Chains A and B, each alone.
Chain A
Amino acid sequence: MKRIDAVIRQGSLDEVRERLTNIGVEGLTLTEVIGFGRQKGHTEYYRGGEYKVDFHPKLLLTIVADEGQVEEILEAIIGGARTGNIGDGKIFVTPVDEVVRIRTGEIGKAAV
């Protein structure tokens, strides 16, 4: 099993979700985050004082899936989130030790 963390633009959510639903992904967790990468910030003024706006609001999608499905999930996310501009985001894939469904106590692949 693998964990897929995808940082994407807020505006990409609808497209990504539609594509994920089409390939049969049934569960995901969404967090509102702020961050920066190569997309640089800029300087603003508030009541005469200077301050830097470095962080950009993004969305973090977390999906845990069976190893076999990872490829098509990545395709779906990239297809929905890519605009070609700096700030499209990144995807991280990590191994998962255990998955448990709390309601039934199922573990492993059955719980994904």
Chain B
Amino acid sequence: MDDGRMGTTPQASMRRSRWSLFSRRAVLLLATFALGSLLTPCFADEGPAPDPSGTATGDKTSTTDAAGNGFVVAAPTDPNAPDYARKKKDSDDFQAQMAKEPLAAKLADHVGHLRVATNFSWTLLTGYLVLFMQAGFALLTCGLVRKKNAGHLMMLNFAAYVFAFLAYYAVGYAFQFGAIAINAAPANLGGTPTLNHFLLGSGQWGFLGGKGFFLSGPGYDAGSLCLTLFEVVFMETAGYIIVGAICERINFWSFLLCEIFIGGFLYPIFGCWVWGGGWLSQIGSTLNLGHGYVDFAGSTVVHAVGGFAAMALSVVLGPRLGKYGPDGKVKVFPAHNLVYVVTGTFILLFGWMGFNPGSTLGASDLRISVVAVNTNLAAVAGSAAALLLWYLIFGKPDITMACNGMLAGLVAITAPCAFVSPNSAVVIGTLAGVLVCLGVLFNDRVIKVDDPCGAISVHGYCGFLGAICVGLFADGTYGAGWNGVGTSSYLGHAGQGVTGLFHGDSRQFLCQLLGASLCAVWAFGGTFGVFWIVNKIKSMRVSPDVELEGLDIPEFGLKGYPEDATVTMEA
């Protein structure tokens, strides 16, 4: 046997082919990293210096009063503007005051730094809450599927976090926020001035950010990394949503490809258009469409992207074996652990207290309390609506639908939470609770798209609804100057913020409809396009035998719940 040659047994040839596959993948990975580190310096040398130690972020220019008036009165730049003379006088007065009271100017630097520090801690802490939602979603989805796949579900959720994060670190963050300083600089975090270049597009028509690859150079900055932490956990939310629709039949390696695709490309590109200062956020000024496309914390940027990508993947994969009979009759696969489902939902609710209020990127923005309450109101309204509707239709309240209803309300309020009143939040939650019920029935009974955890209905359909609700219910009490529109006045009122159809702004509603539709097309189309091809090259599904046995042992060699007898056999 040991004569120096490679073995000729089937096991040996399997080892060989696995090794050559592994070495091919390793070479590809190394090449990507080499290319990345070569590209990084290209984007590192222009523009302001990054501040990795955090000792140069936050000064008198960072501080404002409650109304948002800056401490520093900047000199006006356009001599032809109508209020130039008044602004010049204000600026000159300020300079004179600073000269008379230099100590006050110094104090303002400290105050500005402190404000940014407050906002850093707010943003990071709310980010950690969103991170904890990973645990909530893992429990929720695991509880909703069959016991034989418990390990598989947990591993999908776990690996989703790991691999999507790495893709986002490498290219995702740079694609999404590499140009944010141009049109949407986060003043609450010190402005992140180093992120100032579009790879594709420019000015108000940006399509892809181009600074901060591998979080190096311009990305290795205290303010930028604060934003990174917050935004990566949002990306992760979109990343794990797909698990809810593709579980119980997708193989692990295909799943990793999905996560890398979402974290590196699908999510950040749309995210650039809306949050990174990209074109969708600017169509308020470029195309006179209200305040441009508005999505406060991500009903579409996060949830609809995840939900419609989930839908595309579910269509590519096909339904679980036996789910739909030859006559279309739905076969039921009941949840195996409702304790996980409810606990998971509560953890998600708790995490959402970071998701929505955190999206101000600062505790200095006192709208955070309104956001927090609106979020909870929509959650409970959604759950109550779903529960009552289900009771009316089926005679018993379904626990899983009550949970899905709460999540639907949360998803739908995520875009409008900062712009609407508590009463509107209740209405929005109720609408979402009804929609999610109809969505679940629609997917199973009409279009036969198998969605084990309701991810498509909760995140796709209700995410779309959330963006529309901004265009309906926004009441103008918040968001003055959003996306650079109407900084001094809007619709004839000073300080008027984002406004919806019910409060007089039809163009905002149109803008929301367009943006949300584009999101659905982008997420579904992009995902379907890529993975229909991948599936043709090599099937993304496990074999029917494996699917019937359960994926725990065949995919991972371990059971989610090992039976006592088989575990203690060796003892």
Q: Which residues of A are in contact with B by a Cβ distance under 8 Å?
A: 44-51
Instruction: Tell me the bound Cα distance from A46 to B398 in angstroms.
Output: 7
Instruction: Tell me the bound Cα distance from A60 to B441 in angstroms.
Output: 40
Q: Are A47 and B331 in contact (CB under 8 A)?
A: no
| B444 CB, nearest partner CB in chain A, Å | 6
Of B334, B335, B401, chain A has the most CB atoms within 10 Å of the CB of B334
Chain A residues with CB under 8 Å of B334's CB are 46, 51
Could you mark each residue 427-462 of chain B with 1 if its beta carbon is under 8 Å from any beta carbon of chain A, else 0? 000000000000011001100000000100000000
| B448 CB, nearest partner CB in chain A, Å | 12
From the candidates A44, A48, A51, name the one contacting B444 in the complex (CB within 8 A).
Answer: A48
Does B183 make an interface contact (CB < 8 A)?
no
Chain A residues with CB under 8 Å of B396's CB are 44-45
Additional pairs, 15, CB under 8 Å, beyond known A46-B398, A48-B441, A50-B332: A44-B396, A45-B394, A45-B396, A45-B398, A46-B334, A46-B335, A47-B332, A47-B400, A47-B401, A47-B454, A48-B330, A48-B440, A49-B331, A51-B332, A51-B334
Q: Can you pick out 6 interface pairs between chain A and chain B where the beta carbons lie within 8 Å of each other?
A: A46-B335, A47-B332, A48-B330, A48-B440, A49-B330, A49-B331
Of chain A, the residue at the smallest CB distance from B401 is A47
What 3 pairs between A and B have smallest CB-CB spacing?
A: A51-B332, A49-B330, A49-B332
Of chain A, the residue at the smallest CB distance from B441 is A48
| A1 CB, nearest partner CB in chain B, Å | 27
Instruction: Tell me the bound Cα distance from A47 to B453 in angstroms.
Output: 10
Chain A residues with CB under 8 Å of B444's CB are 47-49
Chain A residues with CB under 8 Å of B441's CB are 48
Q: Which of B392-420 contact A (CB under 8 A)?
A: 394-396, 398, 400-401
Chain A residues with CB under 8 Å of B395's CB are 45
| B383 CB, nearest partner CB in chain A, Å | 15
Chain B residues with CB under 8 Å of A50's CB are 330, 332
Instruction: Tell me the bound Cα distance from A51 to B400 in angstroms.
Output: 16
Main secondary structure of the interface of A (DSSP, over half): strand
Of B331, B332, B395, B454, chain A has the most CB atoms within 10 Å of the CB of B332
Instruction: Tell me the bound Cα distance from A45 to B331 in angstroms.
Output: 11
Instruction: Tell me the bound Cα distance from A51 to B396 in angstroms.
Output: 14
Instruction: Tell me the bound Cα distance from A107 to B401 in angstroms.
Output: 58
| B442 CB, nearest partner CB in chain A, Å | 10
Instruction: Tell me the bound Cα distance from A50 to B401 in angstroms.
Output: 15
Instruction: Tell me the bound Cα distance from A45 to B332 in angstroms.
Output: 8
Chain B residues with CB under 8 Å of A48's CB are 330, 394, 440-441, 444-445
Of A44, A46, A47, A50, chain B has the most CB atoms within 10 Å of the CB of A47
From the candidates A44, A47, A51, name the one contacting B440 in the complex (CB within 8 A).
Answer: A47
Instruction: Tell me the bound Cα distance from A45 to B392 in angstroms.
Output: 13
Instruction: Tell me the bound Cα distance from A24 to B453 in angstroms.
Output: 53
Could you mark each residue 285-302 of chain B with 1 if its beta carbon is under 8 Å from any beta carbon of chain A, else 0? 000000000000000000
Of chain A, the residue at the smallest CB distance from B144 is A47
| B534 CB, nearest partner CB in chain A, Å | 29
Of chain B, the residue at the smallest CB distance from A52 is B332
Could you mark each residue 301-334 of chain B with 1 if its beta carbon is under 8 Å from any beta carbon of chain A, else 0? 0000000000000000000000000000011101
Instruction: Tell me the bound Cα distance from A49 to B394 in angstroms.
Output: 10
Could you mark each residue 375-403 of chain B with 1 if its beta carbon is under 8 Å from any beta carbon of chain A, else 0? 00000000000000000001110101100
Instruction: Tell me the bound Cα distance from A51 to B334 in angstroms.
Output: 9
Of chain B, the residue at the smallest CB distance from A53 is B334
Of chain B, the residue at the smallest CB distance from A45 is B394
| A43 CB, nearest partner CB in chain B, Å | 11
Of chain A, the residue at the smallest CB distance from B454 is A47
Instruction: Tell me the bound Cα distance from A44 to B454 in angstroms.
Output: 19
Chain B residues with CB under 8 Å of A51's CB are 331-332, 334
Instruction: Tell me the bound Cα distance from A80 to B445 in angstroms.
Output: 48
| B51 CB, nearest partner CB in chain A, Å | 51
Instruction: Tell me the bound Cα distance from A45 to B398 in angstroms.
Output: 8
| A29 CB, nearest partner CB in chain B, Å | 15
Instruction: Tell me the bound Cα distance from A49 to B330 in angstroms.
Output: 6
| A57 CB, nearest partner CB in chain B, Å | 15
| B446 CB, nearest partner CB in chain A, Å | 11
Chain B residues with CB under 8 Å of A45's CB are 394-396, 398
Of chain A, the residue at the smallest CB distance from B398 is A47
| A50 CB, nearest partner CB in chain B, Å | 7
Instruction: Tell me the bound Cα distance from A49 to B328 in angstroms.
Output: 11
Instruction: Tell me the bound Cα distance from A48 to B332 in angstroms.
Output: 9
Of chain A, the residue at the smallest CB distance from B442 is A48
Instruction: Tell me the bound Cα distance from A81 to B454 in angstroms.
Output: 44
Chain B residues with CB under 8 Å of A47's CB are 332, 398, 400-401, 440, 444, 454
Of chain A, the residue at the smallest CB distance from B394 is A45
| B19 CB, nearest partner CB in chain A, Å | 45
Chain A residues with CB under 8 Å of B454's CB are 47
| B373 CB, nearest partner CB in chain A, Å | 30
| B375 CB, nearest partner CB in chain A, Å | 25
Instruction: Tell me the bound Cα distance from A50 to B329 in angstroms.
Output: 9
Chain B residues with CB under 8 Å of A44's CB are 396
| A63 CB, nearest partner CB in chain B, Å | 23
Q: Which of B164-206 contact A (CB under 8 A)?
A: none
| A47 CB, nearest partner CB in chain B, Å | 6
Instruction: Tell me the bound Cα distance from A47 to B145 in angstroms.
Output: 13
Instruction: Tell me the bound Cα distance from A51 to B331 in angstroms.
Output: 7
Instruction: Tell me the bound Cα distance from A48 to B395 in angstroms.
Output: 11
Chain A residues with CB under 8 Å of B398's CB are 45-47
Instruction: Tell me the bound Cα distance from A50 to B398 in angstroms.
Output: 13
Instruction: Tell me the bound Cα distance from A109 to B396 in angstroms.
Output: 55
Could you mark each residue 358-375 of chain B with 1 if its beta carbon is under 8 Å from any beta carbon of chain A, else 0? 000000000000000000
Of chain A, the residue at the smallest CB distance from B330 is A49
Of chain A, the residue at the smallest CB distance from B437 is A48
